[in-house]
Structure 1
Amino acid sequence: MANPDTGAVDPTRVIESARRAEETGYDGVYVGDHLLHPHSMLESVVTLAAVAASTRRVSLGPCVLLFALRHPLVLAKQLGTLAAFAPGRLRVGVGVGGEYPAEFDAAGVPLAHRGRRMESVLREVRSLLGGGPELADVAIEPKAPDVSFLLAGWKEASLRRAATYGDGWIGYLLAPESFARRRAFLLQCRAELGRADEGFGTGMLLPVHVHRQGHGQVSAAAAWARLTGSTGGFPDRLFVTGDPDDVVGRLRRYWEAGCSEFILAPADQGRGYLEQVDILAREVLPRLREFPVAS
């Protein structure tokens, strides 16, 4: 998270935001991950270590970590250590990436091979953390067999990968109808794998902006484009915006489509970020908790 005045990375704002989220009733806090990005970013695993030391209750994790850019042994050691400092709290979002080819070039990973590379690293990391067949007869400590891995991606190959290797799936920039179609495909894949009876959550990472009383609407799509460095443009319909009633209503559409977890990412990550955290906690989260629990 950057300082709104200078644009430089500001670690104190990250810690302040995590503490504020815990104090105001959020269930978890998550950070993005890139090695190279148009804007300054902190390394995600190291950042999460600081977050773990500054909080006590919330779950935490990357959403999502680009496994293809990491060495499996080093990553398993990092995640096992992080889980030891935050017992029962680590949840790892896993993604393929590719929107910034320069970071793959710099890491020596061919962009076209990133999916297969991600699968390979994920299998090895899970094995090392879980005590299964070890990578090249190597064993690491501490292990972390209870860490959940939530895979991202919306194309068919990514969905099949999520059904095969994931404990759950996190969608991104999908309308409720698109989310529902992909969720149905995931559950079909799980059934084909003989795993229909195993728990498998389906959630959404949703950029959100609550309009303050008496203020005009803000384009969350434009704010998100600035944040991500995207030039492709995002349709406003993929963002959860409006007054608190509007936001709750739009989130309910995802819940009715089978979304079991909301990862809410304020589109305003500048001066208004903490205000958005507070508004969501005060005027949106209590109403989300009233949604019936899926049977």
Structure 2
Amino acid sequence: MTADLGHGVPEPATTAATGGRPEGHLGAAGPAPQVVLNLARPWGEADPLDLAGAALGAGLDGVTLADSPRLFPDCLLETGRILANTGARLAGPCVLSLGLRHPATVAGALGTLAAHHPGRLLAVVGRGESSVRNEGLAVPSLRTHRESLDRLRELLDDRAPELRLLGAASGPRTIRATAARLGGVLVDVGADPAVLGKAVRLVRAERPEAEIWVFLRAVLTRTAAEADAAGRPVLGSCASRLVRAPDWYDLPAELLPRVEAVAAAHDYRRHGTPAARGGAGRSPETERLVRDRFLLTGDERRIAGQLAAVRGLGVDGVVLAGALTGVVERLNKLATAVRAGLAIDPAVRTGPAADPAAGPAVRHRPDRRGRNLSAESEE
């Protein structure tokens, strides 16, 4: 792949008024959310620097990099390489696995990158479920994960208090715990507008000033066969989210066994590749149900229209999944469609409880040292 890598491009201007964010990209306080592409291409398939150049050439604000040592190049090393060799406004790991990495080593790496590239590091941490399963390990319990978040926040408050740190979360307990501890959440709940709205309101109820990003799986498709192929790398992992919290996702009880079968067929050793979808006991109808809840598909106009729900949530940013078949190949058109869908009137915002009568929400940059730990829920 060839791309304009932007070598030697000056770093974007930032101001104190933007909380360290690039001018003209103020998330919920300005014209539109920032958009980055999450790179998740297996070892040897593509150079992350080339992919970053393609994302920047398509008009995106930067890239994030998946963390799964068995499948992908090291996300921390590649982050440093991209920040040093491109003009990306933002780059960083997503999702950096606290199930594989100790909080002390994570804090050391992120603090170092933040010092070398001030204002440009966007770091997303999480349990790292797919990367943990790749290694045959148990996914950390919520209790263990909360302890890791506490330790990481404590270490980074000392080393890099202005670092833009988000925690990935897909269920209500994890969303609450992450918002309380980190002050920033990457909501990964699919594309259903009702569930997206619930998740954003939950973050704001826990911490009204939190920075909120949304992880979206979107790909341009022309046929049902292309939509089916696009979802293969991640379909089982999406199904597992429905299985773990069916009430949260409003999944009817009679559909649960069928969705469980889709989740069980996923091969995490090949997560993020078309080979991840198992063939045994496949139900195209159930796979389509899962795909429709988690993937935005169709032409440019349809993708832009489907983003109307996100446009009204007042979120700070969007991370586009890069593992889907066809995303990189049609990135310029996809980026244009996403930007069009997220073009919003900054005066139109939803309040903390999504109550139109409450008026526009007044939101501030998080106090990284202030934590609200009062609304804990037990496992």
Report the TM-score, using the length of structure 1 for normalisation. Answer: 0.76
**Residue 9 (structure 1) aligns with:** 43
Decide whether the 8 Å contact of 2:149 with 2:182 is kept in 1.
no
Deviation of the 1:288 alpha carbon? 3.9
RMSD: 3.0
1:248 — aligned with what?
A: 304
Contact 2:308 2:342 (C-alpha < 8 Å) held by counterparts: no
Partner of 1:275: 329
Equivalent runs, 1:2-151 vs 2, <5 Å: 9-10=43-44, 12-36=46-70, 40-99=71-130, 102=133, 111=139, 113-131=140-158, 143-151=159-167
Higher mean alpha-carbon deviation, 156-165 vs 222-231, is at 222-231
Alignment partners' CA distance in 1, 2:42 and 2:152: 33
Are 2:220 and 1:207 aligned? Answer: no
Give the Cα separation in 2 of the matches to 1:8 and 1:290.
33
Q: For 1:290 and 1:254, locate their aligned partners in 2 and report how far apart those are by CA, in whole Å.
A: 10
Residue in structure 1 matched with residue 197 of structure 2 by the alignment: 180
User: In the alignment, is residue 237 of structure 1 matched against residue 282 of structure 2?
Assistant: no
Return the match for 1:159 from 175, 196, 201. 175
Change (3 A) 1:117 1:54: farther
Give 1:87 shift: 1.4
Greater relative contact order (CA < 8 Å, ≥ 6 in sequence): 2
Identical positions, percent: 25
Aligned partner of 1:227 among 266, 272, 285: 272
Aligned partners of 2:103 and 2:151 also within 8 Å: yes
Q: Distance in 1 between matches of 2:52 and 2:134?
A: 27
CA distance in 2, matches of 1:86, 1:251: 31
- How far is the alpha carbon of 1:285 from its aligned partner? 4.4
Q: Distance in 2 between matches of 1:261 and 1:64?
A: 15
Does the aligned pair in 2 maintain the 1:67–1:121 contact within 8 Å?
yes
Q: Deviations over 1:258-293 (max 9, x none)?
A: 444221124545xx4433222123x32442453122
Other structure's SS at 1:275 match: coil
2: distance between equivalents of 1:206 and 1:249? Answer: 14
Q: Does 1:290 align with 2:317?
A: no
Match of 2:219, SS state, is strand
Partner of 1:218: 227
- The answer to whether the Cα contact below 8 Å between 1:266 and 1:277 also exists between their aligned partners in 2 is no
- Shift in alpha-carbon separation, 1:161–1:245, aligned structure 2, 3 A: same
Q: What is the alpha-carbon distance in structure 2 between the residues aligned to residue 159 and residue 286 of structure 1?
A: 26
Give, in whole Å, the separation in 2 of the partners of 1:230 and 1:149.
32
Runs of 5+ consecutive residues of structure 2 not aligned to the other structure: 1-40, 236-270, 350-359, 361-379
Tell me: CA distance 1:9–1:265, structure 2 relative to 1, closer, same or farther (3 Å): same
Contact conserved, 2:231 with 2:324, CA < 8 A, in 1?
Answer: no
Distance in structure 2 (CA, Å) of the matches to 1:68 and 1:100: 8
Question: What CA distance in whole angstroms lies between the structure 2 residues aligned with 1:45 and 1:227?
Answer: 19
Q: Is the 8 A contact 2:58 2:332 kept in 1?
A: yes
- Structure-2 change in CA distance of 1:273 and 1:163 (3 Å): closer
Q: How many angstroms apart in 2 are the aligned matches of 1:218 and 1:157?
A: 31
Q: Does the C-alpha gap of structure 1 residues 265 and 46 become closer, same or farther in structure 2, counting only changes over 3 Å? A: same
Q: 2:98, 2:125 within 8 Å by CA — same for their partners in 1?
A: yes
CA shift, 1:18, in A, is 0.5
Label 1:100 to 1:265 Cα distance change in 2 as closer, same or farther (>3 A). Answer: closer
Distance in 2 of aligned mates of 1:69 and 1:20: 30
Aligned to 1:193: none
> Structure 1 pair 165/242, CA: closer, same or farther in 2 (3 Å)?
same
Distance 1:98 1:274 in 2: 24
Rate the CA distance shift 1:246–1:116 in 2: closer, same or farther, 3 A: same
Change (3 A) 1:8 1:248: closer
Aligned residues: 261
Distance 1:236 1:25, change over 3 A: same
5+ long unaligned stretches in structure 1: 1-6, 132-142, 191-195
- Structure 2 contact 217–295 (Cα < 8 Å) conserved: yes
1:94-143, Cα deviation, whole Å (9 max, x unpaired): 2123346545655xxx54x4433333333223222222xxxxxxxxxxx3
The answer (yes or no) to whether the contact 1:206–1:264 under 8 Å persists in 2 is yes
CA distance in structure 1 between the partners assigned to 2:330 and 2:112 by the alignment: 32
